[in-house]
Structure 1
Amino acid sequence: MSHLWLGLLSSVVVFVVCFSGAMYSFKTQISELLNYEVVFNQETKQTDWIQPDQIKTNFQQKSQNITNIIYPSDFSRNILVAYHDIEEEFDGHYYIHPSTGEIIGSSSRSTGAFFDLMKSIHKNLLLGKVGNHLVGISILIFVILLISGLVLWFPKNKKQWKQGFKIKWSAKWARVVYDLHNTLGFYTFLLLLFISITGLYVSYAWVKSAVVVSLGGQPVLNASNAEAMKGELSNVFASFLEESMDNQEEKKKEANVSLNTLLKDASQRLPYKGITTIQLPTEDNPLYQITKIKQEGIFSAVVPDHVKYGKDGKFKKLVLFSDQSIADQFMEVSLPLHTGEILGLSGIILYFIVTMIACSLPVTGILIWVKKL
């Protein structure tokens, strides 16, 4: 009975959150498809890559300071360059040819407004902080429903075992609806539970702390528990303080280094093929950072490795995803884990299907309740 009433209580919010999340899934793919002629290189013949120093010079001649350069893994795509226009005081981006540096264009056909709306609905139902709490409570209820639903599904005899794994399409509509609710819920149980928990992780500090601690990491600090954790986190704080002081020293320096040299050094430290991002120093982050997206290993998971340099080009730090603790790895990829992007397009498609099934569970659940009435 509690499964029924909790389901009725959260059904509308769960449906809306799952549906908006499913619609948001293909944001990148749809945007790239609409801007196909600028995102993808029409001349895929392999030649030499244009060097980042040349890109920087080309943009500086137009009073534009580059902030990021993203090199694709192969010549099928153009290079994405983000910049800040000094004269007009605005941020923009261009796609450029990977060998000539010719500006192809920008993503002019935007679906940003639609996907921003889907994202806001997914996070807070367009109700601000009140919506955040409504979504959070509803997802917590959904987690309870998943667990209680599994308990209710669990067969009590051999006949029920056979019925529990399939949908009897030839039966009356009420039986089909019942089978859809139970069978689809069972098959998607683990993935829906994982998506729900990672969604709560992204949204709530206390869930983040619980998950990180369970993986062997340190609790996430907030105003209410910071004092109690001072002793426990002394080493972490000391490391953070040292890094902060180092950053302050870096801010005083003038950026004077060859991007070509940094890219060459990073390629030697990360000797594999992948999407490479060169991030230039900003006011908040005074370091050069080169990130390489690795798509190797188990399930071809998309994971990042980082190399950091000072403004003088001095090597600072190599952060390999494989060397991090499980807790740090989880924090690094928590968002792509929630969206399925961690597994690339195949993961996004899988998550879309599972999320649409999640949309159906409140509907079939209500139909079962109405039939009983």
Structure 2
Amino acid sequence: MSPTKFLFRTIHLWLGLGTGLLIVFVCLTGCVLAFEQELEHTWYPARYFVAPAATPRLPLAQLAEAVKAKKPTAKISSFKLYADPTRTVEVSLAGGEKGGKSGTEGGKGQERKRADSRAVMSGKAPEGTAGRVPGAGKAKAPGKGGKGKSEGGGLRVFVNPYTAAVTGELNPRDNFFKTVEMLHRGLVAGPVGKLVMGVNATIFLFILGTGLVLWWPTARKALAPRLQVKWGSSWKRLNHDFHISLGFYASLFLFIMALTGVGMSFDWVGEGINKLTHSPLKRPEPPTSAAPAAGAAPLTADAVLVLARQQAPNAETYTVQLPKEPTGSIRVAVLRHGAVTENATDEVYLDQYSGQVIGSQTYAQRPVGQRIRGLFKPVHTGAIGGWPTKLLALVIGLLGATFPITGTIMWLNRRRKNRRKEHLQAA
């Protein structure tokens, strides 16, 4: 063996032995996350699906009343509606259920807030409250992942769009898949765990690179045996072929997964992409609404939905995010058919009083750096192409979990073989 290959084998071996258990753990938890949405829908079908009715869907104001009856002190942040007639409406809340307070916040004060909120949702603002929008979340520009903070972070309540019955609720920060994701990305250890997983993903890139160098045959006649598994051979030979041959086929996909994992772990990767693509480091602040005329009432969520459907009648989803401040704007995110990811939405900002478009940005108009960073997670989990790429991610994740095991077995077999040679030479 040449000195170069010996060096690469040494690096490949000890990096693999040192991080093998962590790689197995990351690959297995990644397999769970590949079909997160499908598993969630299978486990809780009543939360996400309803039987479509012959009657038209109820207005959002009526759905908001149902949510308020369930969560009296919660504030409605946004509505997400699906074109699929079997899907429930997702109502995101900003802030959770809290007990009553004394003083101005208790008793009549709470009742007055609820009355104001109901009036705003129905389009009838009480006198002296024209500038306020109780029960709404602050409209902010989406973050790195393409979602606004209030759109994904608060409690979600699911409502039947035909009967206004609440079918379930979900705290995105406190469910099974969020725990698995936290384990996968940072071992539930905060910034330290995230750093450990980022370093582990970087080491995995070196393991894959050195593995390809070791795989590459020196002679053309040795190429065919390294591309196929010799079924029916001894278990040692099968273990060798699983590691060498299947490792070659999976290496490209594992390299992409590890590379996107590094990108999600270290902020400097995103900053570097922004600089290379001349993209802004921060997203611009959303536009503000003009000062309303005396007695002007804010636009209702139903009126905003009508405008959104006029602009994109065949969209898959519509998300209406309401403003909190009197000067805030209404954000409407539309996911069109054939979008590359669920975050590839077209965004429109409306004046909350006149309904005029005061800002817009299609997915294609987003800065290149933002679009690249937004692809990290869907590429990493296999969601980029729907269930075929998710299935591919599942298979590659399972294979990735076997390689540290088969590699360790190869190393142990090689050690036993070398010890036998030493004993024979000594004899």
- TM-score when scaled to structure 2? 0.71
Aligned counterpart, 1:44: 52
Determine whether 1:266 maps to 2:308: yes
CA separation of 1:122 and 1:85: change in aligned 2, threshold 3 A = closer
1 CA distance for matches of 2:239 and 2:37? 34
Whole-angstrom distance in 2 between the partners of 1:337 and 1:261: 36
CA distance in 2, matches of 1:104, 1:248: 33
C-alpha separation in 1, matches of 2:260 and 2:335? 21
Deviates more, 1:358-367 or 1:304-313: 304-313
**What's 2:372 paired with?**
330
Aligned AA (2:403): L
Stretch of structure 1 that moved more, 195-204 or 338-347: 338-347
1:307 maps onto 2:335 in alignment: no
Trace 1:96-115 onto structure 2 (pairs within 5 A): 96-98=159-161, 100-107=162-169, 113-115=175-177
Aligned structure 1 segments of 4 or more residues deviating by more than 6 angstroms = 108-111
Give the drift of 1:105: 1.7
**Pairing 1:141–2:203 present:** yes
Q: Which amino acid aligns with 1:324?
A: R
**Is the radius of gyration larger for structure 1 or structure 2?**
2
Structure 1's unaligned 5+ residue stretches are 221-235
Query: Displacement, 1:255?
Result: 7.4
TM-score (ref. length: structure 1): 0.80
What is residue 230 of structure 1 aligned with on the other side?
Answer: none
Query: Which one-letter code corresponds to 1:106 in the other structure?
Result: G
| CA-based RMSD | 3.4
1:140 CA drift (Å):
0.4
SS at match of 1:152: helix
Q: How far does residue 24 in structure 1 lie from its aligned partner after superposition? A: 3.0
The Cα of 1:204 is off from its aligned counterpart by 0.7
Alpha-carbon distance in structure 2 between the residues aligned to 1:282 and 1:371: 66
Provide Cα deviations, 1:46-100, integer angstroms capped at 9, x if missing partner.
65333334433554577454222121221122222234589746964432223x2
Q: Who is 1:69 aligned against?
A: 79
Shift in Å at residue 257 of structure 1?
0.7
Amino acid at match of 1:27: E
* Cα contact 1:35–1:107 (8 A) shared by 2: no
Q: Percent identity?
A: 23
1:1-373 to 2 correspondences below 5 Å: 1-41=10-50, 43-44=51-52, 48-59=56-67, 63=72, 65-83=75-93, 88=98, 92-98=155-161, 100-107=162-169, 113-214=175-276, 216-218=277-279, 220=281, 240=284, 243=285, 246-247=287-288, 256-282=298-324, 286-296=328-338, 301-302=341-342, 303-312=344-353, 313-373=355-415
1:77 match: secondary structure: coil
Task: Give 1:148 deviation, angstroms.
Answer: 1.7
CA distance in 1, matches of 2:324, 2:214: 54
In structure 1, distance between residues paired with 2:172 and 2:266:
31
One-letter code aligned to 2:348: V
Structure 1 residues 167, 295: CA separation in 2 closer, same or farther (over 3 Å shift)? farther
1:166-193 CA-partner distances (Å, limit 9, x unpaired): 2112222222112111222222222211
Q: Secondary structure at the match of 1:272?
A: coil
Size of the alignment, in residue pairs?
Answer: 347
Specify whether residues 351 and 55 from structure 1 end up closer, same or farther in structure 2 by C-alpha distance, changes over 3 A only.
same
